[in-house]
Structure 1
Amino acid sequence: MSWKGLPRKAGERVRVGRRVIRAPSVPSMTDPDRPAGGDESAGEADPQPPIDRSAVQYLDRVRAIFRPMRSDTLAPGLERFIGREDIFRHVGQSDTAHGAQPMMQCPSYWPAGTSWVPIRDLEILEILEDQDVRAG
């Protein structure tokens, strides 16, 4: 790394005006003394498989993206939440025309009257640690 023509190493102290700061500790790609093993491209990493919806247990929280199966039956005001990442909580089962299915509690800032969504309408990114408050 060089500033104003002066070569600087990562982690070295540098004077900027009246202050002394450290140069960034992350080496530049152009540094000649680059650590080996950084030649792997990011595209070669295996993508993680999608999370199985059946792995979500009662009262688990999930980080998920709302992607409704049918957009023609959406409650008013929900279209702005499509494709947005939120935190949902599995609150139980509900009998629907498609049979019993797990339902997820919507965040509190969603429109009034929309408190639950079917788990099939969510793309689950991560199951978050949560405690059952009744347990103790």
Structure 2
Amino acid sequence: AAVAADHPDTARLAAAAIAVRYEVLEPVTDPEKAFEAEPLHPDGNLIRHIPLRYGDAEAAGEVVVEGLYRIGRQDPAPIGAEAGLAVPRPDGGVEIYTASTDPHTDRDLIAACFGLEPDRVKVVVTGVPGATGDREDPGFQI
């Protein structure tokens, strides 16, 4: 739910009138079980699928090694602040001012989330942050 008003008192009254009901779902924390989980959205549970294809590795290699490999959890911690500014445009679009390592992907994902054509979303890069793998997808921008 969202409230837009031209006066704070009106916004407070409107916000107080909103009743939100939701169903608490059990979190899926195992990635293999997540693939088997029932879809929560009509188009599935992936925000984006990027297939990587480089040829037939098994045919090209003399030896094929198969196994299940596990690595420990990692938590990249960028030093720079995660912040941005969204400015509505008169044409119904939006300009996002933020540090980004991939503004074109940010634009496409933001457009998809808001139901806009990508040309109605402008991402203005204010700096290129050290991402350490943590800022590959827009989170706070959306």
TM-score of the pair, normalised by structure 2:
0.20
Select the structure with the greater relative contact order (CA < 8 A; seq sep ≥ 6).
1
More helix by share: 2
**Which protein shows a greater Rg?**
1
- Give the TM-score normalised by structure 1: 0.21
Higher normalized strand content (fraction of residues): 1
